[in-house]
Amino acid sequence: MEFVINDFAKSIDLQSINTRFQLFHIDYSKPIQVTFFTSRRLFTERLIDEGANPPPWLLAYQDQQGIYALDPDLWDPETSSGSLEEVIAHEAAHIVLQSMKTEIPLWIYEGFAMLVAGQIPLDDELGPLLTNPYSLDYESEDLYYTIAQAMVVLSAQINEFELVRRILEVDDYVNDSLFGFEAMREAVKR
Ligand SMILES: [Zn+2]
């Protein structure tokens, strides 16, 4: 994993990000450009220019060209959980998965990034999965929490490394025996 970072970059522990990707045997050869924005206004404007409607808590996003992040000095400690490295690893994981797959359900797209970035407390009891993750969209309340719950359910069946490997291998998620709509419906019932 190679990152190209602009002038505003704070000291990022790139090694810790690379370690996450190595842990899952994920190799991505294209350099990833990381651009920091020195104001929330510039960050938001850039997103709106791209046709997005960014929520006020957003810290970073990506496209196939790279990662765009708000200067970490501007992050609100009240609403932003996680380190800069986690956020960059999360966005980089999106870039990797998108480079390999086309039809990715939202919960798998986000869950994969959260797993690779180490943002899911796999050892914790997150409570029973109450919602089929296929019903989630970006407006859903508890979106990331529900995805974390779904990933905990799956990682209890196989482990997190196998889980990440399967996400990279499977093409038809919706009909898959592990990730499929029916499988997740069963997981909710349990
Ligand atoms: Zn994400």
149-186 per-residue burial string, b: 16 or more CB within 10 A, e: under 16: bbbbbbbeeeebeebbeebeebeebeebebbbbebbee
82 compared with 92, residue with greater pLDDT:
92
Residue written as token pair 């708000």: 70
Over residues 20-72, the pLDDT tens digits come to 999 999 999 999 999 999 999 999 999 999 888 888 888 999 998 899 999 98
Ligand 1 centroid to residue 188 C-alpha, Å: 23
Q: Say yes or no to pLDDT of 11 above 80.
A: no
CA 171 to chain centre: 18
How close is the Cα of 91 to the center of ligand 1, in Å?
Answer: 6
Q: Give the predicted TM-score (pTM) of the model.
A: 0.92
Looking at residue 26, its pLDDT comes to: 96
Centre of ligand 1 to C-alpha 108, Å, is 10
At 178 the pLDDT is 96
Higher pLDDT, 4 or 109: 109
Helices and strands (H and E) in the chain: how many: 7, 4
Ligand 1 centroid–CA 139 distance in Å is 13
Per-residue pLDDT tens digits for 101-139: 989 999 999 999 999 999 999 888 888 999 999 999 988
Task: Please tell me the distance between residue 167's alpha carbon and the centre of ligand 1 in angstroms.
Answer: 15
State the pLDDT at residue 184: 97
pLDDT in tens, 133-179: 999 998 898 999 999 999 999 999 999 999 999 999 999 999 999 99
